Structure 1
Amino acid sequence: MIQVDIWSDVRCPFCYIGKHRFENALKKFQYKENVAIEWHSFQLDANIETNPEISTLEYLAKAKNISAEQAKEMFAGAQKLASENGLEMDLENSVVANSYNAHLLIQLAKSRHLANQMEEALFEAHFKEAKNIDDKNLLVEIAKSLGIAETEAREALNSSNFAAAVKEDELQAQRIGVRGVPFFVFNNKYAVSGAQASDTFLEVLEKVWQETSA
């Protein structure tokens, strides 16, 4: 069995791209039924304030201390990469939003073995549909679309039930030296940082499988 731990933030375009590149590698991996995946919470900016009134372009330029033109170039590069991986990404219209509540929902989904589906749904809401992923009503609707009861979703968002799980994921990331996401760890031994090419993920999977089998 291969254990793959993935630290990710649904605000991160490269996490979305990395998820799909890893999944493309997994499709080609002969022993994919022996791969267990666990998603972990990671906030790129825990202090970001949700503000649907400002443009993401404006926010990025200010946060990175760059010009609007440079921010546009960054967006164009990410969108081109997304398109090459079959993903739609509307970065300029995406909503500036804190991802903490989304991570609470991911932790709830993990307890229902629906983490992968929740990650995908949140990525689509944020990047493809340009929705506010800090809107609790939206998050409840996403949870319901995956078969999670509205009462459970609202309780997860309005209580501290999953706060410790989010914190523990972030502390674990600190312990192993995660500086950015996506971050993939294979069998607690090999780490892959960033949205690497699918072939890179496939090579690591095959190497780990050979070691495990031996």
Structure 2
Amino acid sequence: MKIQIWSDVMCPFCYIGKRRFEQALQQFEHKDEVEIEWKSFQLNPNMVTDPTININQYLADIKGITLDHAKQMNDQVTEMAAEVGLTYDFDKAIVANSFDAHRFAHLAKQNGLGDEAEEALFKSYFTEGKNIADHDVLADLGESIGLDKAEVYHTLAGNKYAINVQQDIAQAQQLGIRGVPFFVMDNKYGVSGAQAVPTFVQTLEKAYNEWALNKPVKLDVIEGDSCEVGGDC
């Protein structure tokens, strides 16, 4: 059963949602039959990368609130993250456009490392305060999860996977997705936000039960002498 997850690297609830979903998956008895695909989404495609401004100040500026108020809001999210074992440090987080990070994630996905890439990106942004728009940072992340560092540089130097990112965003718009994280299970059920673990478990079970009714039957075959299409015997 396929599950698609739309997210943005700079979305704090996306990392929390990832953890809660993983916890739900551990409770799901058919987890070995689940295929997860990460999809790109940009909360602010026009954001200009600026390592001189941290995310607290950025939040204060775009919302027109005081810096103290912005810190209080992020402190609340930090507490939520801690409940699922994540460490957020908004004082270190760097304002960065996520487009190249999404291209990097698509490269990783093509190499069977999509989940590893998302985890590395989230940790770099929220915990380690790294600039996820910096190609050197992304190349190092790629190497850490098993990608070829030179290939990461080559990919980011051009426009490779840009169309993939844009297609993901367009698909999200077609589905009416306005915020992330957003989980689509078997193209039938959508879960919006970093929901509680039981909500994920219930939706997984509902989607799986319907999917299982229609999945092809896999035969246990006892091989013997036979003729195949084309006349080979």
TM-score class, shorter: over 0.9
SS at match of 2:150: helix
Structure 1 counterpart of 2:54, which letter? S
SS at match of 1:53: strand
Higher relative contact order (CA 8 A, sep 6+): 1
- The question of whether the paired residues in 1 share the 8 Å contact of 2:186 and 2:211 is answered with no
Moved over 4 A (4+): none
Paired position in structure 2 for 1:176: 175
In 2, distance between residues paired with 1:83 and 1:161? 36
1:91-146 Cα offsets, whole Å, 9 max, x none, are 12201111111111001001001000000001011011011111110100000111
TM-superposed CA distance for 1:69, in Å, is: 2.5
Paired position in structure 1 for 2:55: 56
- The question of whether the paired residues in 2 share the 8 Å contact of 1:75 and 1:92 is answered with no
- The question of whether the paired residues in 1 share the 8 Å contact of 2:54 and 2:90 is answered with no
In 2, distance between residues paired with 1:106 and 1:169? 12
Task: Number of aligned residue pairs: give it.
Answer: 213
The two structures, once aligned, show a CA RMSD in angstroms of 0.9
Paired position in structure 2 for 1:86: 85
SS at match of 1:161: coil
User: Are 1:32 and 2:62 counterparts?
Assistant: no
Q: TM-score, normalised by structure 1?
A: 0.97
TM-superposed CA distance for 1:12, in Å, is: 0.7
Alignment of 1:63-212 (within 5 A): 63-212=62-211
In 1, distance between residues paired with 2:212 and 2:139? 42
In 1, distance between residues paired with 2:85 and 2:193? 18
Structure 2 counterpart of 1:36, which letter? E
Q: TM-score, normalised by structure 2?
A: 0.89
1:174-206 Cα offsets, whole Å, 9 max, x none, are 100110100000111110000001111000001
Which has the greater radius of gyration?
2
In 1, distance between residues paired with 2:54 and 2:160? 33
Paired position in structure 2 for 1:22: 21
- The question of whether the paired residues in 2 share the 8 Å contact of 1:14 and 1:182 is answered with yes
Fraction of identical pairs, as percent: 47
In 2, distance between residues paired with 1:35 and 1:70? 41
- The question of whether the paired residues in 1 share the 8 Å contact of 2:89 and 2:127 is answered with yes
